[in-house]
Chains A and B, each alone.
Chain A
Amino acid sequence: MNIFRIFIFVFTATLYSSAFAGGIEEQLTGNIWKMERNTGLGKVKTVYMFLSDGSGTGYQQISGRGPTRVENYKFTYKVNQGRIIIQEEIAKGWEGHFGVTRWKLIDNKLVGDVKFRQEVITFSPINL
């Protein structure tokens, strides 16, 4: 009887977590995400695009102080226990230490795991 209860619990939990993870991936890949911030560098616009194979592309445009600069980079991401972990493109040997950010999907927004001073870094889906 107890074994049966444990089995039902494990089965339900697995089903629930895989459905939850799938939901996050669907939401991530189904949108293009944008963040805009005014910083010491000028106005920084960042766009993330997530692909279903676990890779993604970042695009950054910095304007307002001198000529407009643009930077493109690749990243990989994984979803783990409801958190989205991004590893931005970085030289071999440094992965996992730098260019790592952690996010959560809250109310259809990508919300940074750590506050920057009083600011919560947030990406919103672009309405196309």
Chain B
Amino acid sequence: MKTSCYFGLACVVLTLLFGCSRGESGEAKENLTVAFISHTYYVNRHKDVQQMFIDDINKAKPKYIFAMGDIVLLNRDNEWAGTLEFFSKFDAQVYYVPGNHDIFNFDIVEGLATDRHYPEWRQQYVDRIGYAHKMIRDDQADFVLINSNDPASKITPFLDESLSKANPKTPTLLLSHHRIWLERYQENWVQWYWKSAKKEELLPYISKFDQVVIGDLWGKYEMKSIENTPTAMIGMGNNDKPAFWVYAELKGSEFAFEQRTITLPEGHPFIHKKK
């Protein structure tokens, strides 16, 4: 009797253990892998480099690709057509985090000395992409994508709602183009490229997330701890900066990030070496 009880208990434990690591079909579940890419307007004029990104990322087979902003430079229709064609060639589903260049047209802002067109441009972005803020719920992690060009009054209700929906048993990541923990914010059209929310308005939210990813770093990838939250900072540059993307794999309760650099042939026009 006692032996059968132990046997039953062991069966329950084994079922629980294997149940957590196997899918519905019974096959072992693979760790969630995703790709991050940012400041891709730098490669919009280089179809060959775009193709290298497509080949490299498709080969890595991430489940999702997150474009972390600034996918166009001047926010013009022809640029959008080209860049959306580029992103359509990835096998994985692409999700977009709006950058300042994706919503503002700096030619107009700086020319007319005003940013009063922001609401129209934001709506244009939503018409193109389908959303400005978005939550992606996966059974292994939740991703909360915010439009950091918006003021806090538009961002915080979305953050509150997303955090209430997030699965507490899996990691929740905050994805933003701007570094929301910095002091600088738009007070005037001149600062159109900065975030709109003040530091103190969004800082309390950072520690509510397990990890943060931002896309407005120039020419490099770096890890940092912000409010004790691991933060990945990603962004391509030009002038001898590498063309790269970041591969991330969920290991336990955290994503591990890895920079993947595209090797360009010597003298490639993407690399404008500073004299």
CA distance A71 to B114 in the complex (A): 12
Whether A98 sits at the interface, judged by CB under 8 Å, is yes
Chain B interface residue bracket vs A: 20 to 34
Whether A76 sits at the interface, judged by CB under 8 Å, is no
- Shortest CB–CB separation between residue A47 and chain B, in angstroms? 13
CA distance A40 to B189 in the complex (A): 16
Judge whether A114 and B118 touch: CB under 8 Å.
no
CA distance A90 to B187 in the complex (A): 16
Whether A102 sits at the interface, judged by CB under 8 Å, is yes
Whether A60 sits at the interface, judged by CB under 8 Å, is yes
Judge whether B113 and A99 touch: CB under 8 Å.
no
1/0 per residue A29-48: CB within 8 Å of B? Answer: 00000010101111010100
Whether B107 sits at the interface, judged by CB under 8 Å, is yes
Task: Out of A41, A93, A97, A114, name the residue touching B112 (CB < 8 Å).
Answer: A41
Whether A5 sits at the interface, judged by CB under 8 Å, is no
Chain A interface residue bracket vs B: 20 to 34
Whether A25 sits at the interface, judged by CB under 8 Å, is no
Instruction: List the B side residues contacting A89 at CB < 8 Å.
Output: 116
- Shortest CB–CB separation between residue B252 and chain A, in angstroms? 40
CA distance A94 to B12 in the complex (A): 57
Instruction: List the A side residues contacting B188 at CB < 8 Å.
Output: 100-102, 113-114
Judge whether A60 and B112 touch: CB under 8 Å.
yes
- Shortest CB–CB separation between residue A92 and chain B, in angstroms? 9
Number of A-B residue pairs having CB atoms within 8 Å of each other in the complex: 69
CA distance A88 to B189 in the complex (A): 12
Instruction: Knowing A37-B113, A41-B111, A62-B111, say if A98 contacts B190 (CB, 8 Å).
Output: no
Task: Out of B111, B151, B153, B191, name the residue touching A44 (CB < 8 Å).
Answer: B111
CA distance A114 to B189 in the complex (A): 9
**Which residue from chain A places its CB closest to the CB of B190 in the assembled complex?**
A114
Task: Out of B108, B151, B186, B190, name the residue touching A41 (CB < 8 Å).
Answer: B108
Whether A116 sits at the interface, judged by CB under 8 Å, is yes
Whether A79 sits at the interface, judged by CB under 8 Å, is no
Whether A121 sits at the interface, judged by CB under 8 Å, is yes
**Which residue from chain B places its CB closest to the CB of A101 in the assembled complex?**
B188
**Which residue from chain A places its CB closest to the CB of B106 in the assembled complex?**
A40
CA distance A80 to B198 in the complex (A): 22
CA distance A93 to B223 in the complex (A): 36
- Shortest CB–CB separation between residue A90 and chain B, in angstroms? 5
Whether B196 sits at the interface, judged by CB under 8 Å, is yes
Judge whether A40 and B110 touch: CB under 8 Å.
yes
CA distance A73 to B117 in the complex (A): 11
Instruction: List the B side residues contacting A73 at CB < 8 Å.
Output: 116
Instruction: List the B side residues contacting A46 at CB < 8 Å.
Output: 112-113
Instruction: List the A side residues contacting B110 at CB < 8 Å.
Output: 39-40, 116
Task: Out of B114, B151, B187, B196, name the residue touching A88 (CB < 8 Å).
Answer: B114
Whether B8 sits at the interface, judged by CB under 8 Å, is no
Judge whether B196 and A115 touch: CB under 8 Å.
no
Judge whether A90 and B116 touch: CB under 8 Å.
yes
- Shortest CB–CB separation between residue A122 and chain B, in angstroms? 11
Whether B115 sits at the interface, judged by CB under 8 Å, is yes
Judge whether B112 and A99 touch: CB under 8 Å.
no
15 of the cross-chain contacts (CB-CB < 8 Å) are A37-B111, A37-B113, A39-B111, A46-B112, A46-B113, A89-B116, A90-B116, A91-B119, A94-B118, A97-B118, A98-B118, A99-B116, A100-B187, A101-B113, A114-B191
- Report, nearest first, the 4 A-B pairs whose CB atoms are least far apart: A99-B116, A41-B111, A39-B111, A98-B118
